[in-house]
Structure 1
Amino acid sequence: MNKKETYIVQGFTCANCASQFERNVNELHNVEHAKVHFSSGKIDVEGSATIEQLEKAGAFEGLKIRKEAEGVPESRPFWKSKRNIPVMISAILVIIGWVLLFNIGEGHPFTVIIFLSAMVIGGYQLFIQGVKNLVRLQFDMKTLMTIAIIGAVLIGELGEGALVVILFAISEALERYSMDQARRSIRSLMTKVPKEAIVLGNDEEQKKPIAEVQIGEHLIIRPGEKIPLDGKVVKGTSAVNEAPITGESIPITKLKDDHVYAGTLNEEGVLEVVVMKLANDSTLAKIIHLVEDAQEERAPAQQFVDRFAKYYTPAIILLAFLVMTVPPLFFAAAWSEWVYLGLATLVVGCPCALVISTPVAIVTAIGNSAKNGVLIKGGMYLEQMGSVNAIAFDKTGTLTRGMPEVTDVIPTESMSKEELLRYGLAVERYSTHPIAEAIVRKTNQEGTTLLNWQVERSEAYTGKGMAVEINGAFVYIGSPNFVEESYPDLLNGYWLDKIDELQKQGKTVVLAGSEEKLFGVFALRDEVRKGTDGVLQKLRHYGVKEIAMLTGDQTYTAQAIGEKAGVTTVHSELLPEQKVNVIMTLKKQGFTPAMVGDGINDAPALAASDVGVAMGTVGTDVALETADIALMGDRLEKLPYLMGLSKKTMAVIKQNITFSLALKAFALLLVPLGMLTLWIAIFADIGATLLVTLNSMRLMKMKDQFEQKH
């Protein structure tokens, strides 16, 4: 049976290149079958091929291969990448060449040498692939560029040919760097799980790599440690932060027989857990596969220019050939005159303006967005954002602030609000639990002090509450369940109804009291971000018809938050794969959905949506990396700006394509009249390039209008 190995591939820039690499690998004599996953940057190989053989198969694109088990190589700055050094050298030579052209002329040996050197250094891979494509009659952008550059050289326009080479090389280098950075996201997911687990056997603890841990073995997980594998609690009680899996902001109490998941954080007690799933089958591992599968289904949309080039390239070549040969052969015209016209036709057909019509606009827009605090990972995401008409928001940390805040402080009749807050500060001031921290923040806001109280003997009831001795008296703050179990006589019908009412408002309730009496109630809720309603109204102005909220929270909380935020629909108690289902349902209903989230649990939905948008600074690394766009300042207000920028960019791109093609069409109409000169051809091409560039620069002036108005 052939060995199957997965490799990480560095250097993919386009799906066509990935397909070519897959064909090359499958042609190797010692490869049974190979499958490339372009979006995740991997290749599965059945056989005995070496890395050297694989890299040789990908030499046309300069691909670098390494085994998946070796991990992801460190990211290197764009300017330090060896592959980009020729591009930078070529760019410098082009600048020098144009300086020489204006000073000593294009025909001077120094100028010729400089321009030819720039072409060879920056475009040798382009030429090799372009010639191969031409031999195979495969007409893509590389073929088009190769023909155009050769045509420019043949009629002595070395400067223009060199400029085309450098523009194309820089575009590919930036695209390659962007893709490599984006792919690191999927692979970084596994860093959320510890590499080792503490296994309990014969009353002795032993560290093992998680890959060696078997189902049925018992693990010890101490406070502050991440849970390494999916399992079930057999001993102990603790609060576990499951935000990486469910997105729930408040830790979940885990008791005997409760399930725990790899990648979640044990916050308080010691747990003994029996392993229920192997490392490759854990919930987090499934999330990783969901991300990879969803991204694999999202093949990049073919740009208009690439599709047009399939017809444009052979048409220009054929037209130039006919211009060169038909008049001399059939009408006894002068060969020199019509060969010249044919070469001029090639210059007109040089796709310089057409090629940069899209990237110049997109790069300008992306530069503008970066200044406005929005990171866009590629042009296709910027383009797609303009057609989005449905947006799904994660709740915690996206529509809400991501941390609970005290909304209600309700004392009993025998207690003042100030005194209840003082008890809250005394009990919770040294706890790191999110609820405790929220109560302490509230006391600080109210200026609460402990006076001369003597606070001693703090005691934590894991998953239930906290207690201390205040001036010798026992005082606790705990969950309603804790009070009902420990002091059932303290809760009468009034307080039970009050607790139920607060919980139906989507609030978490804790009670303060002693063994003899109840002091009062604290209610907390993760509040909606300020200005969210205005953001959603602006999005509707840009054509968003469906605004959904997706959360792992319980229904009461979700409905309350959704109503306050102003979303169209609310989906609660969702696991990661169920969030993906909501996205897929929106697609089936005819929507073009975007997903906005900030957690690992959002990663599959971010990948499955047409555009994934991550909340930047509070977002987990995986959400930030998996998403196509990141709001770096954690500000939802940037979404309307992003949609406006996308729509404006697409309008500019259409204008650019129209400009470049219209000027070329005008020049080509002069061919039958014998009036097309080299100068007109050059003017048409350079003029179109200049118009395209200046038109694209208008995007730099686009401001965040929403921010200005608010």
Structure 2
Amino acid sequence: MEDKKQVYRLQGLSCTNCAAQFEKNVKDIQTVIDAQINFGASKLTVIGEATIEQLEQAGAFDEIKVIPAKQRAEEQRTPFWKKKTNITTAVSALFVLLGYIAQFTASENSVLAIGLFVLAIIIGGYELFKVGLSNLVHLQFDMKTLMTIAIIGAAFIGEWGEGAVVVFLFALSEALERYSMDKARQSIRRLLEIAPKKAIIRKGNKEYEVDVEDIEIDDIMIVKPGQKIAMDGIVVKGQSSVNQAAITGESLPVYKQVGDEVFAGTLNEEGSLEVRVTKRAEDTTIAKIIHLVEEAQAERAPSQQFIDRFAKYYTPAIMLIALFLAVLPPLLWNGDWSEWIYRGLAVLVVGCPCALVISTPVAIVTAIGNAARKGVLIKGGIHLEETGRLKAIAFDKTGTLTKGTPEVTNIELFNEIGEAELLGIAAAIERHSQHPLASAILREAKRKAIDIEKWQAGDFLSITGKGAKANVNGNVYYIGSPTLFAEFLTLPVHVQERISRLQIEGKTVMLLGTNEELLGLFAVADQVRESAKTVIQSLHKLGIHKTMMLTGDNDKTAAAIGNELQLSEVKAELLPQDKLATIKKIREEFGSVAMVGDGVNDAPALASATVGIAMGGAGTDTALETADIALMADDLTKLPYTIRLSRKTLRIIKENITFALGLKILALILIVPGWLTLWLAIFADMGATLIVMMNSLRLMKVKE
């Protein structure tokens, strides 16, 4: 029998240590088999059974509220100054101030001053002591254990004032950490708020407003001008411009008409639409994005895994150093017990790994959230870090560097026939063909308003790999490659030269004629994206050493596109297994490589690349599932932004770790001459934590 799995959203989860403690408490519930906390997304996954009351009891130490993930609940957003913990911190600060005033006006060890400091310690440190003492009893050593020992020690040696200041500064540090983490989590909250909770559904001739969870597939949803679309679906009536920025990051609205796909959370602008629902609420694109972003924030990046392992040994090591410092000098060299215990306590306080533990997750959470709002879905901290280290990027051609829809670029006549007639005959034949180039001819005829009904084709025959023939208005015509016509006609030299020049330009040439004479030619090309050249230039400026195009197309077409885009290298006429082999070779040469494709074709190459990047993730489940990063809009310009964001994240993580460790080492050096006071130690720790948080939040500002 499969174990029962429940997912909950958490409100009030304040710090990484609290998350770890809460997870442990939940695992201790007898009916729970396993539990996992996603700190970045504030979510809890429980395998087994537990009531909301049991879970909230497990998180009572941090006043955690537990809400089932499927239940829509408005988060109670309490202003910063109205939160209970922040009020007690402010009251504690007041008593510290009054204590120092009493000490200044009376005497240093006056009963009034000590009484005020004791009140400050009890009020500001009650929650801290509750957890810290419990941890101490169970021999669990974390930040709160260290702080509890330090404050009790300070009181023991009569440093009441310093103990009170340490309590206040630690409480303030925790409050500011909570505030910063809430800011980092806002990106997910904004995503959750994008899609409406209700929609108007038409049944028969009546319209009903229903919850999105109750909407069934194939229901008809009415979307009025100015309303947000509540569900993914296909337009069955009406036309309008839809702002898709929330899903794809596109700044300009996209025109939608009958047959087009629309996404939940996008804004219908001026027209009225009727939409046939194609996905349930939990399967919509926005729901998948939210799920993937949350999963991404739970996945530990390599640097975070290192910090977690480091902190595991670091905290006990600090406790041992503090113990030796407090005990050995008085025992071995007749040092003053009071002075050396004080120094040992200062080591405990400065040794708090707050800044170190928070240095990576807050940066990862902020970066992934920022990217999601810009239409870039990064599926984990590991992919973010790997993208920041890239030196080589390979691109699929069709649909990635090119638009993926071939267009007629040249029409040339070799007889007395007019262009309209040539295009009409070609379109009449190509109506019966499934070849991608046929659609280019039909689109060109439509663009030039040719009435193709004048030409009726019969006896259509596809000539595999070469073209087609048909009887049009009583005459048999052929359309296809120069190879087809070479079988029954001798092509004039000037025609051969013209064909050659067009092919060198990267165009596919199709000839039209009878078995006796050549009437004209069409040159067709898959148009390069307008943004492709500037994107490749931006990548080179960012220090990407190799930009390569991998395509199954012919050498001439590939070379023409490669030259136009100034790519480092082009490999053409590749089968899927050849692309895979090429990716492996580049990976060996550069250590890492990204593959950019449409997420449907070239799956082996995308999977074997260090980072697989899918174009146009919105609407394609395959792209969302197979790629490490999905560019939700069909927009290459998001690629340089993603690399800049990844590099800045890597840089900020390194800065955070260096700063957090550097400040600890500096503070520990200050202990030698006895310059490190308790309040200076906690101030250094709090300062490091704050600077690390603020530094990480700079990732919110990375522009496209």
TM-score by length of 1: 0.59
Write out per-residue CA displacement over residues 554-607 of structure 1, whole angstroms, 9 at most, x where no aligned residue. Answer: 333322322222212122232333323223322333454322222444333333
- Gap change, CA 1:61 and 1:328, over 3 Å in 2: farther
What does residue range 96-111 of structure 1 map to in structure 2 within 5 Å?
96-103=84-91
Q: Which amino acid counterpart does residue 90 of structure 1 have in structure 2?
A: I
Per the TM alignment, residue 425 of structure 1 is displaced from its structure 2 partner at its CA by: 3.4
Contact 1:149 1:164 in 2 (8 A): no
Contact 2:413 2:521 in 1 (8 A): yes
Q: Which amino acid counterpart does residue 90 of structure 2 have in structure 1?
A: F
Inter-partner Cα distance in structure 2 for 1:163 and 1:527: 55
Contact 1:602 1:623 in 2 (8 A): no
Q: Is 1:411 matched with 2:413? A: yes
Q: Which amino acid counterpart does residue 543 of structure 1 have in structure 2?
A: G
Larger Rg: 2
Q: Which amino acid counterpart does residue 455 of structure 1 have in structure 2?
A: Q
Secondary structure of 1:319's aligned partner: helix
Q: Is 1:386 matched with 2:374? A: no
Of stretches 518-527 and 92-101 in structure 1, the one that deviates more from structure 2 is 92-101
Secondary structure of 1:509's aligned partner: strand
Q: Which residue of 2 aligns with 1:252?
A: none
Q: Which residue of 2 aligns with 1:685?
A: 685
Q: Which residue of 1 aligns with 2:142?
A: 147
Q: Is 1:425 matched with 2:427? A: yes
Contact 1:597 1:623 in 2 (8 A): no
Per the TM alignment, residue 107 of structure 1 is displaced from its structure 2 partner at its CA by: 6.9
Secondary structure of 2:389's aligned partner: coil
Q: Tell me the percent identity.
A: 44
Contact 1:149 1:165 in 2 (8 A): no
Secondary structure of 2:350's aligned partner: helix
Inter-partner Cα distance in structure 1 for 2:317 and 2:380: 30
Superposition RMSD in Å = 5.0
Write out per-residue CA displacement over residues 415-443 of structure 1, whole angstroms, 9 at most, x where no aligned residue. Answer: 23333223333333576542222112222
Secondary structure of 2:603's aligned partner: helix
Q: Is 1:703 matched with 2:677? A: no
Write out per-residue CA displacement over residues 669-708 of structure 1, whole angstroms, 9 at most, x where no aligned residue. Answer: 343444544322221111111112222333333323xxxx
Secondary structure of 1:404's aligned partner: strand
One of 84, 90, 112 as aligned partner of 2:64 = 90
- Gap change, CA 1:601 and 1:694, over 3 Å in 2: same
Inter-partner Cα distance in structure 2 for 1:513 and 1:421: 12
Contact 1:503 1:556 in 2 (8 A): yes
Secondary structure of 1:669's aligned partner: helix
Q: Which amino acid counterpart does residue 381 of structure 1 have in structure 2?
A: H
Q: Which runs of 5+ in 2 are unaligned?
A: 8-29, 47-51, 66-75, 94-118, 152-166, 187-299
Per the TM alignment, residue 352 of structure 1 is displaced from its structure 2 partner at its CA by: 1.1
Secondary structure of 1:649's aligned partner: helix
Write out per-residue CA displacement over residues 254-297 of structure 1, whole angstroms, 9 at most, x where no aligned residue. Answer: xxxxxxxxxxxxxxxxxxxxxxxxxxxxxxxxxxxxxxxxxxxx
Inter-partner Cα distance in structure 1 for 2:571 and 2:455: 47
Per the TM alignment, residue 522 of structure 1 is displaced from its structure 2 partner at its CA by: 1.8
Secondary structure of 2:325's aligned partner: helix
Inter-partner Cα distance in structure 1 for 2:562 and 2:468: 31
Per the TM alignment, residue 468 of structure 1 is displaced from its structure 2 partner at its CA by: 5.8
Secondary structure of 1:635's aligned partner: coil
Write out per-residue CA displacement over residues 493-532 of structure 1, whole angstroms, 9 at most, x where no aligned residue. Answer: 6656655554455433333334664332222222222232
Q: Which residue of 2 aligns with 1:449?
A: 450
Inter-partner Cα distance in structure 2 for 1:604 and 1:171: 39
Contact 1:90 1:166 in 2 (8 A): no
Per the TM alignment, residue 448 of structure 1 is displaced from its structure 2 partner at its CA by: 3.1
- Gap change, CA 1:336 and 1:108, over 3 Å in 2: closer
Secondary structure of 1:574's aligned partner: coil
Inter-partner Cα distance in structure 2 for 1:392 and 1:601: 14
- Gap change, CA 1:164 and 1:502, over 3 Å in 2: same
Inter-partner Cα distance in structure 2 for 1:495 and 1:665: 78
Q: How many pairs were matched up?
A: 504
Q: Which amino acid counterpart does residue 64 of structure 2 have in structure 1?
A: S
Per the TM alignment, residue 402 of structure 1 is displaced from its structure 2 partner at its CA by: 1.6
Inter-partner Cα distance in structure 1 for 2:147 and 2:122: 17
Inter-partner Cα distance in structure 2 for 1:552 and 1:452: 36
Inter-partner Cα distance in structure 2 for 1:172 and 1:608: 32
TM-score by length of 2: 0.59
Q: Which residue of 2 aligns with 1:461?
A: 462
Q: Which amino acid counterpart does residue 657 of structure 1 have in structure 2?
A: I
Q: Which residue of 2 aligns with 1:138?
A: none
Q: Which amino acid counterpart does residue 448 of structure 1 have in structure 2?
A: A
Per the TM alignment, residue 109 of structure 1 is displaced from its structure 2 partner at its CA by: 8.2
Q: Which amino acid counterpart does residue 147 of structure 2 have in structure 1?
A: A
Q: Which residue of 2 aligns with 1:22?
A: none
- Gap change, CA 1:615 and 1:454, over 3 Å in 2: closer
Secondary structure of 1:640's aligned partner: helix
Q: Which amino acid counterpart does residue 149 of structure 1 have in structure 2?
A: K
What does residue range 312-331 of structure 1 map to in structure 2 within 5 Å?
312-331=314-333
Of stretches 621-630 and 460-469 in structure 1, the one that deviates more from structure 2 is 460-469
Contact 2:562 2:570 in 1 (8 A): yes
- Gap change, CA 1:160 and 1:377, over 3 Å in 2: farther
Contact 2:460 2:471 in 1 (8 A): no
Inter-partner Cα distance in structure 1 for 2:423 and 2:360: 60
- Gap change, CA 1:161 and 1:329, over 3 Å in 2: farther
Q: Which residue of 2 aligns with 1:372?
A: 374
Q: Which amino acid counterpart does residue 318 of structure 1 have in structure 2?
A: L
Contact 2:394 2:595 in 1 (8 A): yes
Q: Which residue of 2 aligns with 1:284?
A: none
Contact 1:550 1:571 in 2 (8 A): yes
Secondary structure of 1:578's aligned partner: helix
Q: Is 1:305 matched with 2:314? A: no
What does residue range 101-180 of structure 1 map to in structure 2 within 5 Å?
101-103=89-91, 146-155=141-150, 157=167, 159=171
Inter-partner Cα distance in structure 1 for 2:173 and 2:520: 80
Write out per-residue CA displacement over residues 630-669 of structure 1, whole angstroms, 9 at most, x where no aligned residue. Answer: 3222322233333333333333333323332333234323
